[in-house]
Amino acid sequence: MKVESTVLKGVLIIETDCFGDNRGWFTESYNKERFAKYGLDTDFVQDNHSYSTQKGVLRGIHFQNNPKAQSKLVRCTKGKILDVVVDLRKGSDTYKKWIAVELSEQNRKQIFIPKGYGHGFVTLTDNVELQYKVDEYYSKECDRSIKYNDPELGLIGVLKILFYRRRMAMHHILKIAIAILVLKCLLQASMGSLVMMWY
């Protein structure tokens, strides 16, 4: 198993060992004992599975406040996404900084997101399925999101994708420039299955 650190403390990109032959392939997407050897001794309590029908669907950026903050282990099992993680820990050296990583059914990469970070993604293909583990149950009272279209985000008219915004009324405002990130992901989607990180 390969575990890669990022500039955001505790946020890790994970590639599990994959074994294949003419029939296909097999991988252990999660093994508690093996993950613990890399410091990921997380007690996951819930598995989530989302489906997005079209390319260009934007979800997030979501998080839960204390006392129901969540760590997440995220993977894309169908299609391709650009996954975004934002540091929401006040006082952190990387507060309001973000990274973006391409996850797909082809590269089988996963990303571990500790408590204190926001998470969202934009789909790069149609018919996308995302599966992720969390270590705290969903809490409506603690559920929060970042509003993508606040003037302070600097959208400058670059978003020309279809947004699904059913939860916009709940979104909290933060100064995070996700607009440029989404534009870049759309422009570079044809470059192949690369891990992309923009800061």
Residue 135 has pLDDT above 60, yes or no: yes
Let me know if 8 is exposed, middle or buried by CB neighbors in 10 A (0-12, 13-18, 19+).
buried
Higher pLDDT, 185 or 123: 123
- 13: three-class secondary structure by DSSP: strand
Out of 119, 132, 148, 171, pick the active-site residue: 132
- The percent of residues above 90 in pLDDT, for the chain, comes to 49
132 as an active site residue: the answer is: yes
Q: Report whether pLDDT(61) > 90.
A: no
Flag whether pLDDT at 187 surpasses 90.
Answer: no
117 catalytic residue (yes or no): no
Query: Per-residue pLDDT for 144 more than 50?
Result: yes
| Mean pLDDT to the nearest integer, 95-122 | 90
- Residue with token string 């050296």: 93
Mean pLDDT of the chain: 78
pLDDT over 70 percentage in the chain: 73
pLDDT of 147 reads 60
Please enumerate in sequence order all residues whose Cβ is within 8 A of that of 75, keeping only pairs 6 or more positions apart, or say none: 29, 103, 108, 109, 110, 111, 130, 131, 132
Whether the pLDDT of residue 198 is over 60: the answer is: no
Structural domains of the chain in order of their starting residue, each with its CATH number? 2-191 (2.60.120.10)
From 62, 117, 119, 171, active-site residue: 62
Q: State the pLDDT confidence band at 57, using cuts at 50, 70 and 90.
A: confident
